Structure 1
Amino acid sequence: MNTPTLRYSAFTTDPSGGNPAGVVLDARAMSDADMQRIATQVGYSETAFLLPRSDGAFDIRYYSPLAEVSFCGHATIAATVAHAERYGPGERLLHTRAGQVRVFVDEALMVTLVSVQPQVVPLGAGDLDRILAALGWRSDELDPALPPALAYAGAWHPVIFTATRARLAQLDYDFDALAALMAQRAWTTVNLVWRESAQTFHARNPFPPGGVVEDPATGAAAAALGAYLAVHDALPAQRAFTIHQGDDLGRPSRLAVAVPQDPRAGIRVGGTAVKIEAS
């Protein structure tokens, strides 16, 4: 098997920033076990495996170092940029385990993905208590204007708003306790957010189910946040905003999110990616 595994960092133009992802552009000859082995060897939060179809679309699989995940935004951005560098810009249709995702790439290799239909549902009080206990956070440190909830745009994420940037900066959680809860509930990351302004949000995403302490940029969670804000009537007038993520890890990432008037049409998440050269 001679298919190379590429390495790109998404939601950044600097290889030392963003969220790294492995990319395999043609995985049709690979088994599930092959993909999992490669993702484990690469060690990034996700590796994306493209499987070109006869109709011009792609099947795509995403693996963390520990398990397959249904959808991954940053690996989608990375894989699409890698493919566009070789085959040109344009639209790609990706068949993910979560559903169809359309991706648009312009001449500057800026990518916009359109999520599957989102959902937002309540987060049970018991689950919130367990999350806060694992984080070492108190309920009075949360933003009372933006209540905790579960949001989905390809993967499920608890969305929890803190009242201050200082609280968000202090993240030292019980890995095993949070991992156990997230495995029970089939959550991908916990999206911890602080609202700086109507157009600017800061986020951190613990990712223990993938064997990763924290994700520097989480496209699926960004899309889920867009759905959450729409449901809670908390979007800015232009229905678009920016997420700052990865700053506390020294890997700054910027995610652009746009929400259509009917969010059921899919949340737009935009960014680019840059190749990580082999050392």
Structure 2
Amino acid sequence: MDNTRSEVLRYAAFTDSGKGGNPAGVVLDARSLSETDMLAIAREVGYSETAFVLPTLEPSEFQVRYFSPKSEVAFCGHATVAAAVALAERDGPGARDFTTLAGLVTVNAVADERGVTATLTSPATRTRPVEESVLSATLAAIGWREEDLDPMYPPHVAFAGNDHLVLGVARLATLAGLDYDFDQLSALMEREQWTTVHMFWAEQDGVFHVRNAFPPGGVVEDPATGAAAAAFGGYLRSLGLVTIPARLTLLQGTHMGSPSRLIVDIDAHTDSVRVTGSASRMPL
């Protein structure tokens, strides 16, 4: 392992007014690292994801791989934003193409007096209803009943690079009181190949309170989940649950003491969804 190339930068992504956010590790030049090296670094860092950037011959094109402490994942939104901001701070703002295991992700970084924000354009989204037996097993693991769900939002498995179970609840108190069986939900998610369970409450038009269970990443909950935000936007568009074009605000991480803000833009003429957030360097 080349330690001169494997320096890990630490960023909080999707911060809210400079606070909170979701920590991600970023290695800006991972060309000398093997998969074993990457996994070992991700475990040592201990965040839900670390992004490993592999520069190409084109200055605006990169291969990016994402590792949780447990395994490689195809795509991670908050680590993508962190990597884009890190590259912008080093090389200047602008658009960059990230080739990921989930496909091409374009990220545009913009700098102003408040810092750097990045907008990722997700892989194409899709969604499908969840099977009743799988939904029942999920609710048993979470400790919810079907009547806790908001009938306006059908339970679905939504995709934007990874699969996420999407569950809307009728009351904020239900979301606030989340206390699930980690082992039970983890086994179910491994079987179904879900990355997170995206649970939300609709406060008003365009504003949602969100929590994401993330056992596959080795953590109980994720404070900000860009990939799930993109999948959620695609879900709302596919089911006609939002007027297009739409801009959504997702408030996540509040119940963890790490408030995060994700901006989701949904258009009619593309299968992708744009997710915007800020990121700030964390002290060592």
TM-score (normalizing by structure 1):
0.97
- CA deviations on 1:38-87 (whole Å, 9 max, x unpaired) are 00011101000000011331000001111111000000001110111010
Deviation at 1:236, TM superposition (A): 4.0
The one of 11, 14, 28 aligned to 1:8: 11
Residue 126 (structure 2) aligns with: 119
- Kindly report the root-mean-square deviation, in angstroms, between the aligned alpha carbons of the 2 structures: 1.1
Distance change >3 Å, CA 7–CA 14, structure 1 → 2: farther
Contact 2:237 2:244 in 1 (8 A): no
Residue 273 (structure 1) aligns with: 279
Residue 41 (structure 1) aligns with: 44
Matched, 1:81 2:46: no
Contact 2:244 2:266 in 1 (8 A): no
Identity among equivalent positions (%) equals: 51
Structure 2 residue runs without a partner (length 5+):
none
Contact 1:150 1:159 in 2 (8 A): yes
The one of 238, 241, 252 aligned to 1:234: 241
Deviation at 1:232, TM superposition (A): 1.7
Look up the equivalent residue of 2:37 and give its one-letter code: D
Rounded Cα–Cα distance in structure 2 between residues aligned with 1:141 and 1:14: 32
Contact 2:15 2:260 in 1 (8 A): yes
Residue 28 (structure 1) aligns with: 31
- CA deviations on 1:114-135 (whole Å, 9 max, x unpaired) are 0011111111111101110000
Contact 2:11 2:279 in 1 (8 A): yes
Matched, 1:129 2:136: yes
Structure 1 residue runs without a partner (length 5+):
none
Contact 1:199 1:241 in 2 (8 A): yes
Deviation at 1:262, TM superposition (A): 2.4
Contact 1:77 1:272 in 2 (8 A): yes
Rounded Cα–Cα distance in structure 2 between residues aligned with 1:66 and 1:48: 14
2:78 is paired with a residue whose SS is helix
Look up the equivalent residue of 2:176 and give its one-letter code: A
Rounded Cα–Cα distance in structure 1 between residues aligned with 2:17 and 2:149: 33
Residue 200 (structure 1) aligns with: 207
Deviation at 1:238, TM superposition (A): 4.3
Aligned residues between the structures: 277
- CA deviations on 1:65-113 (whole Å, 9 max, x unpaired) are 1111100000000111011101000010000000000000112321110
Deviation at 1:240, TM superposition (A): 1.0
Structure 1 segment 39-188 matched on structure 2, within 5 A: 39-56=42-59, 57-108=61-112, 109-188=116-195
Contact 2:129 2:154 in 1 (8 A): no
1:76 is paired with a residue whose SS is helix
Rounded Cα–Cα distance in structure 1 between residues aligned with 2:49 and 2:243: 31
